[in-house]
């Protein structure tokens, strides 16, 4: 009797294992066949050779657009700006690794196509100067682990994913200009600089101008424009090299426009102008930032923020910047003069 029970339990285990194997095999074949029945050209979103991509155009239904173009030194944004390289890299990796998770169910297909027609971002990818692929990126699935997309001239939407990534992909195709703009105040190499003027609006006799030509330097007081004969050339050279890479924190979006206008109309702490040998000019104005509730180490409210300030770049971009980054530019003419 015990032997029969033992054999019965053993048979049940074997039967259970066989059923599990059959279920897995059936699921695999159903999934494989459902993907196989879809024409490759209707689900062909990925691009294997992203190095051949030289232009990407994104435009949404509100006509907000982003144009990214590859140059020998960087990616340009909308012809006038430098694009954030980290975001461009994410976008290129997305185009390389994107895969079909599953087709949209027939019952939801019509609604998804309507949603994509109303709210989506059109993506045009150019390779070696020619239009290579066009598709539309919609919103996330209900569980936020997939993204609805459809190729141009197709009526078959898909749920797309990146294997191993838990989330949806729509934010990677943003048409929000500020998100794509590189956070660069200065990116000028020493050999490109022809002239730098630093005006200290709080202490005029600290202001100065430096002229540069083929590693020869001239130091002038400003605004008197009086040439200084005795100064440390090495310190001047190190100062000019600071302009090679100066980034700010972020664009200002949390300060009301009237506040911004008031700040811009006030007297800045510093005005810095850099002229290049090619005739390009970059000017920044640094403004003190109110404490706005920040406390010092004793717990007292601060009149001004000791870590951050406002920076106006070329009279257009109003941003937050850190003293830690820009202090090497906020120097006195006396720092160059020999005793």
Percentages of the chain per state (helix, strand, coil), in multiples of 5 = 35, 35, 30
User: Is 268 a residue whose pLDDT tops 60?
Assistant: yes
Picking from 163, 180, 197, the residue at the C-terminal end of a domain is 180
Do 139 and 275 belong together in one domain?
no
Do 241 and 118 belong together in one domain?
no
Do 251 and 156 belong together in one domain?
no
Average pLDDT of 300-308? 81
- Comparing 33-42, 44-53, 165-174, 238-247, the range with the smallest average pLDDT is 33-42
Average pLDDT of 313-336? 95
Do 238 and 162 belong together in one domain?
no
Do 230 and 255 belong together in one domain?
yes
Do 56 and 176 belong together in one domain?
yes
**229 is a domain residue:** yes
**26 is a domain residue:** no
**36 is a domain residue:** no
Average pLDDT of 283-304? 78
**72 is a domain residue:** yes
**What's the pLDDT at 73?**
87
**33 is a domain residue:** no
pLDDT band at 44 (very low <50, low <70, confident <90, very high): confident
**63 is a domain residue:** yes
How many domains does the structure of the chain reveal?
2
Cα separation, 193 vs 274, whole angstroms = 7
**127 is a domain residue:** yes
Cα separation, 306 vs 327, whole angstroms = 12
Cα separation, 98 vs 146, whole angstroms = 11
**What's the pLDDT at 84?**
93
Expressed as residue numbers, the domain containing 115 is 41-180
pLDDT band at 28 (very low <50, low <70, confident <90, very high): very low
**164 is a domain residue:** yes
Q: 123-158, pLDDT tens digit by residue?
A: 999 998 999 999 999 999 999 999 999 999 888 999
Cα separation, 35 vs 271, whole angstroms = 61
Picking from 129, 154, 180, the residue at the C-terminal end of a domain is 180
Average pLDDT of 283-308? 80
Do 306 and 229 belong together in one domain?
yes
- On average, the pLDDT of the chain sits at 87
Do 302 and 326 belong together in one domain?
yes
Find, among 295, 224, 296, 309, the residue nearest to 266 by Cα: 309
Contact 47, 53 (CB under 8 A): yes
**What's the pLDDT at 34?**
44
Do 169 and 312 belong together in one domain?
no
User: Is 48 a residue whose pLDDT tops 70?
Assistant: yes
Do 121 and 239 belong together in one domain?
no
Q: 229-264, pLDDT tens digit by residue?
A: 899 999 999 999 999 999 999 898 878 888 889 999
Picking from 138, 158, 180, the residue at the C-terminal end of a domain is 180
Do 137 and 253 belong together in one domain?
no
Do 204 and 154 belong together in one domain?
no
């Amino acid at each position: 009797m015990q032997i029969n029970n033992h054999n019965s339990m053993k048979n049940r285990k074997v039967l259970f294992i066989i059923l599990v194997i059959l279920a897995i095999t059936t699921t695999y074949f159903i999934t494989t066949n459902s993907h196989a029945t879809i024409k490759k050209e209707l689900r062909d979103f990925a691009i294997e050779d992203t190095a051949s991509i030289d232009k990407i155009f994104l435009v949404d239904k509100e006509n907000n657009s982003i144009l990214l173009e590859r140059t020998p030194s960087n990616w340009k944004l909308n012809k006038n700006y430098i694009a954030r390289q980290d975001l461009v890299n994410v976008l290129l990796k997305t185009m390389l690794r994107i895969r079909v998770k599953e087709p949209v169910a027939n019952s939801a297909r019509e609604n998804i196509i309507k949603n994509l027609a109303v709210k989506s971002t059109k993506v045009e990818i150019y390779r070696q100067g020619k239009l290579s692929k066009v598709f539309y990126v919609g919103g996330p699935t209900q569980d936020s682990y997939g993204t609805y997309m459809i190729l141009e001239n197709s009526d078959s939407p898909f749920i797309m994913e990146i294997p191993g990534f838990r989330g949806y992909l729509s934010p990677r195709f943003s048409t929000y200009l500020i998100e794509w703009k590189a956070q660069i105040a200065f990116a000028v190499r020493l050999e490109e600089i022809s002239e730098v003027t630093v005006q200290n609006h709080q202490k005029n006799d600290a202001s100065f101008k430096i002229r540069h030509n083929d590693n020869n330097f001239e130091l002038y007081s400003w605004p008197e424009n009086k040439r200084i004969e005795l100064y440390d050339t090495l310190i001047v050279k190190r100062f000019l090299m600071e302009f090679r890479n100066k980034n700010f924190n972020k664009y200002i979006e949390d300060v009301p426009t009237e506040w911004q206008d008031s700040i811009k109309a006030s007297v800045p702490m510093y005005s810095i102008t850099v002229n290049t040998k090619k005739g390009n000019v970059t000017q920044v104005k640094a403004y003190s930032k109110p404490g706005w509730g920040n406390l010092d180490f004793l717990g007292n409210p601060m009149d001004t923020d000791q870590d951050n300030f406002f920076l106006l770049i070329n009279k257009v971009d109003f941003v937050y910047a850190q003293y830690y980054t820009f202090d090497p530019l906020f120097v006195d003419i006396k720092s160059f003069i020999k005793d």
